[in-house]
Every structure is written in C-alpha cells, then in structure tokens.
C-alpha cells in the first residue's frame, strides 16, 4: 500500500519545537532503516548519538507519518520499502504550502532544500532553479555522518578554500557538524589543525578504511558568523554601511542579520559583533570601501590599513 504523509503531521516536524537537528536526525533514521541489514536499537543509538528513549519517539513519529516499521526474527528494526512506498502524494495546495513553510527556515539551509527536493519530486509544483537542492550535498552530509559514527578518517575531494584560493584534497578526522549542517569541524591530518570545512565547497567525500588516530587533538570551537574557528572570539567588528552593503552582507553571511540594526532617520545600517578572525570581514569591507564606514575598533582599522598597503 502506498505511503501517505498527512499534511498536519508533516508540518509538525517543521515547528520550532522540532528543531533542525531533530529534522536531520529523522531523515538520517529513515535512510538508515531503509538500508539492509536490519538494525538493532543499540546500533541506531550509536548512529544517531542519542538515547534509546529518543529512538522510540522517532520510531513512533515515523509510524504516524505512514512508514512501515518492522522487525526481523532477531528483533532488529527496518523500514519496509517498495516502489510504491517511495511516493508521497501531495496535492498542489499542500506542496505549495510546504514550499513556503520550508523556505521560511532559510534558503541556504541544506535540510530545508533536501525536503524541497522531495516535495518537488512527489508533486507537480515547480520550485525554480534558485530553490532546487544540490543533490550531491545530502550524500556528502550522509558520508560525513558515517565517518563520525564509525570513527573513520575522511577524504574531502576537491575542496575550494576561500583562504588559500586553491582547490585540493584534504584528509581529515571529522568531529561534528555546525548547527545548520552547513559545515563540519574536523582535524586536518597534514596541518595537524582543527578546521572548519564548508560542505558546499566540497566536490565529494570518501570514508576511508583508516580509523581515527588523533582524537586527543580534536577540538571544536564554535565558528563566528563568518565561519572562522578559534580559541577566543575576541576581535571586535563595528561598521556603518549602506543598504546595498547590508543586503549583500546578509545574503553572503546569513548569521550576520542578528547583529545588524537600521540607523534611525537614515538609509544606513549599524553592525557590531565579535569574531575569531579579521580575514572574512576584512575582505567584505575592502570590497565596499565607499559604502562601509569603520567605527569603534582601532585594531580592525589597522588590519584593513595593513592589507591595503600590502596590496598597493
């Protein structure tokens, strides 16, 4: 029998109570249980890094969503699949509503885009080229998850570095994803440094049959809004900018929006935050010298002056 996901249940997943990490885990669980062989509860716990109680809550939700959760003779769990099972018959109105709902989470969120792709494939709705999910990214996230769970080293193929302006392969030991699964924190073998790798800049990844060997050197530092990691977020940025600069900053670095405020009775915007590195905000400022005014931090001003002098 075909699988039908009721709209109200699907919407429940995207409410604030069901955050992005839980959404991602739910889709991880679906894919994990569809792949043979069947899995024990202990294996599922390890794969999702969560508790047995949470696993059973997820399984109950999947049953409510219409998935056939079954057990084999050894009491191991799997999702029964067939060609018909993979069809989610959304109506045009439901699909259009889901599109608007999911896009409200942010157009650059990989989980939202993954669901948009599924909505498009199961309805007549057209999402447009700028909204379509880059299919390979979900596979990359899945493979990185496998490397983390199994404690294996990971080969990142064709990584485009914004810092070195180069493309190269990297061997890393992945530690964890950032909140929106846009990047992964990992220990790079060759440099022996903990770095932050943007998933969109990866051509592909490969889980190596080499166990992690440097766990004692693994460290995760919460990245700043520009994506840089470091031991101390102590570098202050304070700017005034035009509307054009503000819109481009917010588009390129969505997390900056929380730190930007309009300046009353002007067409300008005020931005202040602390960062790990001046590199990314420095590049932004130098790209908009006529539209950005530095205020506050003299250290940041001196950094900009040094870079400009070096490039002249």
pLDDT at 86 over 70: no
For the domain made up of 235-310, the CATH class stated in words is alpha beta
pLDDT at 94 over 80: no
- β-pair partners for 293: 240
Q: Which fold has domain 136-217?
A: SH3 type barrels. (2.30.30)
Please report how many Cα atoms fall inside a 13 Å half-sphere around the Cα of residue 218, on the Cβ side: 16
Closest CA relative to residue 171, chosen from 225, 214, 115, 108: 214
- β-pair partners for 170: 156
Query: What does the alpha-carbon distance between residue 258 and residue 303 come to, in Å, rounded to a whole number?
Result: 24
Query: What does the alpha-carbon distance between residue 168 and residue 183 come to, in Å, rounded to a whole number?
Result: 17
Domain ranges of the chain: 7-134, 136-217, 235-310
> In this predicted model, which residue has the larger pLDDT, 183 or 274?
274
Query: What does the alpha-carbon distance between residue 247 and residue 256 come to, in Å, rounded to a whole number?
Result: 10
pLDDT at 241 over 80: yes
pLDDT attached to residue 213: 92
> In this predicted model, which residue has the larger pLDDT, 272 or 228?
272
The CA-based diameter of the chain, rounded to the nearest angstrom, is: 73
How does residue 258 score in pLDDT terms, banded at 50, 70 and 90? confident
| 7-134: in CATH 1.10.10.10 | yes
pLDDT attached to residue 146: 83
| Percent of the chain residues past pLDDT 70, beyond the cut | 70
Residue 41, both tokens: 């509860």
Which tens digits make up the pLDDT trace of 196-208? 888 888 888 999 9
pLDDT attached to residue 91: 54
- β-pair partners for 211: 152
Pairing of strands 69-71, 166-177: unpaired
Residue 233, both tokens: 């977020």
Q: Reduce the DSSP state of residue 166 to 3 states and report it.
A: strand
Tell whether the torsion through CA atoms of 107, 6, 22 and 37 is positive or negative.
Answer: negative
pLDDT at 102 over 70: no
Which tens digits make up the pLDDT trace of 116-171? 555 555 444 443 333 333 456 777 887 888 888 788 999 999 998 866 678 899 99
Tell whether pTM > 0.75.
no
Domain 7-134 shares a fold with domain 136-217:
no
Mean pLDDT in residue range 225-254: 83
> In this predicted model, which residue has the larger pLDDT, 99 or 12?
99
Query: What does the alpha-carbon distance between residue 181 and residue 110 come to, in Å, rounded to a whole number?
Result: 7
Residue 28, both tokens: 């991880």
pLDDT attached to residue 184: 87
- β-pair partners for 105: none
pLDDT at 254 over 60: yes
Please report how many Cα atoms fall inside a 13 Å half-sphere around the Cα of residue 254, on the Cβ side: 7
Residue 229, both tokens: 């990691």
Rounded to the nearest integer, the mean pLDDT of the chain is 76
Question: What is the DSSP code (8-state) at residue 39?
Answer: B
pLDDT attached to residue 15: 44
pLDDT attached to residue 1: 37
How does residue 96 score in pLDDT terms, banded at 50, 70 and 90? low
Mean pLDDT in residue range 66-84: 77
Q: Give yes or no for a contact between 181 and 24, defined as CB atoms under 8 angstroms apart.
A: yes
């Amino acid at each position: 029998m075909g699988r039908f996901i009721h709209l109200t249940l699907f919407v429940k997943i995207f409410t604030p109570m069901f955050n992005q990490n839980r959404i991602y885990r739910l889709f991880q669980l679906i894919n994990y249980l569809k792949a043979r062989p069947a899995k024990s509860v202990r294996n599922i716990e390890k794969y999702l890094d969560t508790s047995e109680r949470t696993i059973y809550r997820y399984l109950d939700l999947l049953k409510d969503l219409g998935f056939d959760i079954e057990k084999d003779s050894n009491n191991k769990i799997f999702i029964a699949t067939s060609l018909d099972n993979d069809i989610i018959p959304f109506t045009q109105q439901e699909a259009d509503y889901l599109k608007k709902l999911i896009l409200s989470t942010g157009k650059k969120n990989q989980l939202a885009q993954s669901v948009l792709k599924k909505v498009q494939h199961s309805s007549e709705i057209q999402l447009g080229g700028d909204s379509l999910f880059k299919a390979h990214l979900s596979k990359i996230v899945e493979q990185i998850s496998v490397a983390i769970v199994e404690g294996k080293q990971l080969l990142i193929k064709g990584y485009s570095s914004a810092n070195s302006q180069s493309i190269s392969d990297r061997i890393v030991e992945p530690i964890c994803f950032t909140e929106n699964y846009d990047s992964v924190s990992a220990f790079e073998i060759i440099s022996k440094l903990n770095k932050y790798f943007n998933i969109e800049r990866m051509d592909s990844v490969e889980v190596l049959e080499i166990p992690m060997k440097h766990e004692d050197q693994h460290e995760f530092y919460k990245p700043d809004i520009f994506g840089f990691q470091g031991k101390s977020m102590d570098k202050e940025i304070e700017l005034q900018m035009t509307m054009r600069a503000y819109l481009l900053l917010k588009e390129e670095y969505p997390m900056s929006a929380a730190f930007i405020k309009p300046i009353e009775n002007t067409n300008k915007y005020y931005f202040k935050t602390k960062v790990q590195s001046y590199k990314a905000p420095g590049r932004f400022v130098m790209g908009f010298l006529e539209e950005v005014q530095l205020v506050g931090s003299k250290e940041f001003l001196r950094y900009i002056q040094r870079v400009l002098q070096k490039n002249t």
